[in-house]
Amino acid sequence: MAHMRLCIFTEPQHGASYADQVKAARTTEEAGFEGYFRSDHYLTMGGFDGLPGPTDSWVTLAGLALETSRVRLGTLVTSATFRHPGPLAISVAQVDEMSGGRIELGFGAGWYEEEHQAYAIPFPSVRERFDRLTEQLEIITGLWGVPAGSRFNYSGTHYSVVDSPGLPKPAQSPRPPIIMGGAGPKRTPALAARFADEFNVPFRSAAEAARIYRVVDDACVLAGRNDLPVKSAAVTVVSGRTDAEVRSRWGGEVLDTDSGEGAVIGTPDKIVNDLGAYVEAGATRLFLQLRDLRDTDLIELIAAEIAPQLG
């Protein structure tokens, strides 16, 4: 596990101010993690109150780009239903420049219908959402990739681009890494094989992650490319130095949950053992999700007692 890459992953829609996110990102950087990533949602879920309300992912990341200096920043994942592809390409490129080239774009089709209803965002069928995601990927990579002084054109079913200069360019060359992921059997692996630099399996068991990685490998063969450079997994981490501390973070429930469904719960040695299964499954990067991003003590605990054992 000497080459495992570790990032902290947060879900601010469950309840966090911008100041909370700055503190979490700075703690993540100071603790030595590779990246600080956040979700892209406008409505809470899972019983959280969501106060003080949602924060826009790319507005937040622009601020964090100036509040940090080393840690990589990005989304898991930006929803293609939230933004038009041209403005999104501009926003991501600008934040990449603001950060000095530390941005990664996690990108997906969108799935949470209630948040679309709550904030007047159209929510088309699954087929149309994936069709739009495909066109957005073609446009965003096209805008970033067209040489300066040239023009980019695109004609699709849902979007068209006419004589775009494709500016601004991101700081990273040829572009910021694109992360795609999920558990879909066909379209997601195929799109990842065409466009992605990393495939992420969110909140699944290690055995299921291994199965999905094999599906993605097969999609890469069909697309005529090598395996994706990075395979990763998002895993919820609930830990403490003692069982009592773990119970406190878990909410007082009995600790009979293992890493079966994308959550690892226990003292540091158990966490290391459970995360090791994802390494054996083929993951080379882990996104460790905090249930409460204001719990910066947990970030420091992971850095001190779990991360060293994972490299």
Q: What percentage of the chain exceeds 70 in pLDDT?
A: 96
DSSP state of 303: I
**Do strands 230-239 and 285-289 pair parallel, antiparallel, or not at all (unpaired)?**
parallel
Separation of alpha carbons 61 and 64, rounded Å? 5
pLDDT band at 43 (very low <50, low <70, confident <90, very high): very high
* For residues 89-97, average pLDDT: 98
Query: Can you give the pLDDT at residue 259?
Result: 44
Distance of CA 285 to the CA centre of its chain: 11
Query: Can you give the pLDDT at residue 258?
Result: 52
* For residues 225-241, average pLDDT: 95
Query: Can you give the pLDDT at residue 311?
Result: 74
* For residues 216-239, average pLDDT: 96
Residue 64 reports pLDDT greater than 70: yes
pLDDT tens for residues 142-169? Answer: 999 999 999 999 999 999 999 999 999 9
Residue 9 reports pLDDT greater than 60: yes
DSSP per residue over 99-144, as a string?
A: HTS-EEEEEE----HHHHHHTT-----HHHHHHHHHHHHHHHHHHH
Cα distances (Å, whole numbers) of residue 55 to 106, 123, 297? 17, 20, 23
Strand, helix or coil for residue 154: strand
Query: Can you give the pLDDT at residue 188?
Result: 97
Mean pLDDT of the chain: 95
| Residue whose tokens read 């249930």 | 291
User: Which structure tokens are listed for 136?
Assistant: 């957005």
Question: Which element (helix H / strand E) includes 74?
Answer: strand 72-75
Backbone φ and ψ for 232, nearest 5 degrees, come out as: -140, 170
Amino acid symbol at 35? G
pLDDT band at 46 (very low <50, low <70, confident <90, very high): confident
pLDDT tens for residues 234-287? Answer: 999 999 999 999 999 988 555 555 545 789 999 999 999 999 999 999 999 999
Query: Can you give the pLDDT at residue 255?
Result: 53
Assess contact for 178 and 107: CB atoms under 8 A: yes
* For residues 179-192, average pLDDT: 95
Residue 2 reports pLDDT greater than 70: no
21 CB burial (10 A radius; 0-12, 13-18, 19+): buried
* For residues 19-48, average pLDDT: 97
Q: Which of 2-11, 29-38, 106-115 has the lowest mean pLDDT?
A: 2-11
Query: Beta partners for 264?
Result: 237
Assess contact for 201 and 208: CB atoms under 8 A: yes
Query: Can you give the pLDDT at residue 200?
Result: 98
pTM of the model: 0.95
